[in-house]
Amino acid sequence: MEKASSIISSIFGSTPSEAEAKITSIFVYPIKSCRGISVPQASITSTGFRWDRHWVVVNSKGRAYTQRVEPKLALVEVELPKEAFNEGWEPTQGSYLVLRAPGMNLLKVQLSKNCEPIDGITVWEWSGSALDEGAEASEWFSKYLGKPSRLVRFNTASETRAVDPNFARGYKTMFSDEYPFLLISQGSLNALNERLAEPLPINRFRPNILVDGCGPFSEDLWTVLKINNLTFNGVKLCARCKVPTINQENGIASTEPTETLMKIRSDKVLRPTRNQRGKVYFGQNLVCKESLSTSGKGKVIKVGDPVYVLKKVSSSADAPA
């Protein structure tokens, strides 16, 4: 059972007078597992932030590459036009996705071109068609990774990818691992770094939203948030995979932070009375209520926006995971 964070938050869904945190960074990852872009604002779409995980690199069988098996993807720098993050912006003939990587020439992918759909694209449990970005992009990634590869775009005209209905029924995403948004607090990162011999930057954890002003791991408890009049639901603690162990500057993996997280953030520690699955948790997965509606403007959040918590659970053990 969820418990209201305060009486005021349970009456008519009203917003508390004091914010619990504020947004300090927003990140969008246009190509799954490649570098993210720090932006001052981002628009909310039906699948998450606009441009987030819009593309994925796949192998010769159409299966998605991630940093788990291709850590070199961490070194691929991604650039979109700055105006691409303005509400309502549409690409022109001169708008490009620009890619850079060590030892590679610049690659420019036109945003407004028509692409041919190809079938048999697979990302985890999902399979469907995607839009092939063509021979030049294929050759670029094939050379960089040393194996046949293609860059494909999510086919919004024909495909949908549903979020796990056990946690967020009716929501969808593109090529994200599971959920449209991931939120982490600076307090959580600071608390982890205090236990590490070498502090880690936030890019190890690839959040969409970084907030500050709250205590460590406060975000575990948040189940209903208000940001710029948009309602976000915290639907599941984020179980971490191998990716946070990969240095995003050189693509080399180590044992941290997983070793330390197992001591302080495992299901055994946080959820001792629940089934143990050997998971470690860091961050909170979110969905946005307004993403269910295709109408209306103003679905934008910005760096500096206050975060109001309307509902929370009493402990991490009570949070869905």
At 189, is the secondary structure helix, strand, or coil?
helix
> In angstroms, rounded to a whole number, what is the distance separating the alpha carbons of residues 106 and 99?
6
For residue 54, list its beta bridge partners. none
- Measured CA to CA in angstroms, residue 41 lies from 87, 253, 302, 321 at distances of 9, 31, 4, 29
C-alpha dihedral (187, 188, 194, 200), degrees to nearest 10: -110
Q: Which of 244, 306, 311, 239 is nearest to 277 (CA)?
A: 239
Which CATH number goes with the domain that contains 239?
2.40.33.20
**Domain tally, the chain:** 1
Per-residue pLDDT 10s for the chain (321 aa) are 444 444 344 434 567 889 999 999 999 999 999 999 999 999 999 999 999 999 999 999 999 999 999 999 999 999 999 999 999 999 999 999 999 999 999 999 999 999 999 999 999 999 999 999 999 999 999 999 999 999 999 999 999 999 999 999 999 999 999 999 999 999 999 999 999 999 999 999 999 999 999 999 999 999 999 999 999 999 999 999 999 999 999 999 999 999 999 999 999 999 999 888 999 999 999 999 999 987 768 899 999 999 999 999 999 999 999
Q: Check the CA dihedral 75-76-77-83 and report its sign.
A: negative
The whole domain housing 282 covers 3-318
pTM of the model: 0.94
